Amino acid sequence: MMKGRITGNRKLIIAGVLLIICLVTALVLVNRQTSGSVGDEAAFRNRPKTAPQGMVDPNIIQKGTTAWQGQNYINTAKSALNLVNQQRTNNGLTPLQWDDSLAACAMVRALELPSFFSHTRPDGSDWFTICPNIMYGENLAQGYNSADGAVNGWMNSTMHRENILNAGFVSCGIGIYESGGKWYWVQEFGYY
């Protein structure tokens, strides 16, 4: 009788251990898709009184355009913009238009984030110095590997949410750069 009871207890222990392993694995998978951070603040500049001249440096566009790591990242960035536009529409705002120039600027910024996750660039200059004539708002995120995760992170942060719901912005570009298995996100906003 004693032997049967031990075997039964072992079965319960094994079943319990397997259940714990399954729960931990599920939590890891969920966190892998949604964990990340957006930093403490977003960046914003006021709209100039007149439209700036000479919009974009072609070298920046070339650098940003060639930095994409594949179509999957471009599709994910555009999915993130669709989610942002759902938030804007739900708040009575006009959807943002995808802007290739802002996306190229976002990619240049995304390349900088693994070494320095900040609205200050690694050389100490401001975030908008890449293309000051088109960049007026910036949201950053790191660690999210889904559009849902990044947009939820931004929407759950007051300053990032304010950029997304800024009625003056009409254009947006999003860049995603993966380094060491970690995704870095940059969302750039424009008035033009």
pLDDT tens figures, 62-79? 999 999 999 999 999 999
pLDDT value of residue 40: 64
- Under the banding of pLDDT at 50, 70 and 90, the label for residue 30 is very low
The answer to whether residues 168 and 96 touch, using CB atoms and an 8 Å cutoff, is: no
Average pLDDT over the chain reads 86
The larger pLDDT score, comparing residue 7 to residue 25, is at 7
The larger pLDDT score, comparing residue 55 to residue 179, is at 179
Q: pLDDT tens across 107-138, in order?
A: 999 999 999 999 999 999 999 999 999 999 99
pLDDT value of residue 23: 43
- Under the banding of pLDDT at 50, 70 and 90, the label for residue 12 is low
Maximum Cα–Cα distance across the chain:
90
The answer to whether residues 107 and 68 touch, using CB atoms and an 8 Å cutoff, is: yes
Query: Taking 70 as the threshold, does the pLDDT of residue 173 lie above it?
Result: yes
Can you give the pTM of this predicted structure? Answer: 0.80
pLDDT value of residue 48: 80
pLDDT value of residue 46: 85
The answer to whether residues 138 and 164 touch, using CB atoms and an 8 Å cutoff, is: no
